[in-house]
Amino acid sequence: MSVPQIEIDGCRQAHTKLVTAIADLTDTDVSQPSLLADWTLGHVLARLARHADAMSRRIDAALQGEVVEQYVGCADGRDAEIDAGATRAAHAIVADITSSAVRLDALFASVLVDRWSMLVRTQRCDQRALMAWALGRGPASELEPWG
């Protein structure tokens, strides 16, 4: 198995584009409705930050030989964190997205080749190899090594 460098680079580039796109948001902007029912732009951005944190949390745990839930408090905990994050000032939301992205990018870059087969738990409580999960591929038992 090899390091999925193309995907890691793509993730980092997407984070850079996102951070650049939201850099000048105002409090009015983040309080506007999004295209998702009952969610403001602040909700969408808080969701992105919490998802990045959930990925970082599981990678951290996997590197320590542990398997943890995706979100503290499962779906209810995730929803509460999104709701709390959605109502903050724009500068705080942008800082949150930025720090979450930077941390996740650093973790992806630090995972050694032999560690990409570590198991992580998905939101649906199945376990997948880190590489399969991070790249949206099948369960660990169905993962075919590449590279």
Return the domain boundaries, the chain. 5-135
Looking at the predicted structure, is the pLDDT value of residue 139 above 60? no
% pLDDT > 90, the chain: 48
Q: How many CB atoms within 10 Å of residue 113?
A: 10
Report residue 85: phi and psi, to 5°. Answer: -75, -25
Domain range 5-135, CATH class: mainly alpha
The DSSP result for 44-64, as a single string, is HHHHHHHHHHHHHHHHHHHHT
pLDDT over 80 (residue 19): yes
Are residues 64 and 55 in contact, defined by beta-carbon separation less than 8 angstroms? Answer: no
Q: Kindly report the pTM of this predicted structure.
A: 0.81
Is 130 in contact with 120 (CB distance < 8 Å)?
A: yes
| Cα 51 from Cα 18, distance rounded (Å) | 14
pLDDT greater than 80 at residue 142:
no
Using CA atoms, how far apart are residues 110 and 94, in angstroms rounded to an integer? 24
> Can you give the pLDDT at residue 13?
94
Highest-pLDDT range among 14-23, 111-120, 132-141: 14-23
| Higher-confidence position of 108 and 141 | 108
Instruction: State the Cα–Cα distance between residues 97 and 82, nearest whole angstrom.
Output: 12
Please tell me what DSSP assigns to residue 88: S
d(CA 10, CA 18) in angstroms, rounded, equals 12
What's the confidence (pLDDT) of residue 53? 94
